[in-house]
Amino acid sequence: MIYFDEYGDRNNPTILLLHGAAAVDTFTQQYQVLNNYHLIVPHLYGAGESVKITYNPHKLKQEILELVKSLNKPSVGIMGHSIGAQLAVMLVTDNPELFSRAVFLSAWVCPNEKSIRMYCKSAPVMVKLLRYKWIVKLQAKYWNYTKKQSDYMADYARKLTVENYQAFFNETMNIKDFPGIFEVTLPMLAICGQRESKDIKNSLELLAQNASCQTMILPKAGHDFPMRCASGLNPILNSFYDETIN
């Protein structure tokens, strides 16, 4: 079974947190805020204890499903950021009965070949930079990570390969392959930052085509808004998820 971190009381309602590419602690600013919940954070391929596994969303989706079923709960909440949001969309589309509520943060679900080529071309440089612990720790500090989280990311990031970095983009989900998302009726919320790319904003518009999916743009926020703009995001998340337990 996929390796995961766990926070909170198992007797509380569970939320599955699917982090962004190579950033296990994407939700560091949400762990304490969601303290009325039992939080599960799988280490997605290309990060943490799964850093050496090449990113494959379809295989990863099956592992996450096994994890969810092993919890023996009627349903769980789910929240994903970036590639984690792509996975969350896939999961609720194929198995909506397993989930109570879903949040998609910065979901990129409409691949743009030009953008993919650009990111893949930059992979050798980006991966080389990840070999320098001080650079990774500087990024972690910018993201408001704790020292422990910062040290951990610096340790596993140096093991990321160019091929795996490129897979994050080459394996970008295409919502056209998951038309069932527009029929899902569980409560959903999709958010992106005001300063994000056109691709991400176009993805938000696509998700808005489902009447059960609320959408919003967070002011003055970039792609890393779960870490950098928590003061604006967290009250929204609290309000959305608290309807599950109240």
Exposed / middle / buried, residue 73 (Cβ in 10 Å: 0-12, 13-18, 19+) = middle
Does 135 reside within a domain? Answer: no
pLDDT in tens, 12-26: 999 999 999 999 999
**Is 189 a member of any domain?**
yes
User: Is 197 contained in some domain?
Assistant: yes
**Mean pLDDT of the residues in the chain:** 96
d(CA 107, CA 209): 14
Q: How far apart are CA 226 and CA 10, in angstroms?
A: 24
- What total number of domains does the chain contain? 1
> What Cα–Cα distance (Å) separates residue 7 from each residue in 14, 68, 167, 228?
10, 15, 29, 21
What are the residues whose beta carbons fall under 8 Å from the beta carbon of 109, sequence distance 6 or more?
Answer: 86, 89, 172, 173, 174, 175, 203, 206, 207
Q: What is the pTM of this model?
A: 0.97
Residues 158-192 have pLDDT tens digits of 999 999 999 999 999 999 999 999 999 999 999 99
Query: Which pLDDT belongs to residue 241?
Result: 86
Question: 231: domain CATH number?
Answer: 3.40.50.1820
SS3 label, residue 30: coil
Asked if the structure places residue 17 within a domain, the reply is yes
| Residue 246 clears pLDDT 60, i.e. is over it | no
Assess if residue 9 is contained within a domain: yes
- Rounded Cα gap, residues 32 and 18, in angstroms: 16
User: What are the tens digits of pLDDT across the range 92-138?
Assistant: 999 999 999 999 999 999 999 999 999 999 999 999 999 999 999 99
Domain that holds residue 92: 4-112+173-245
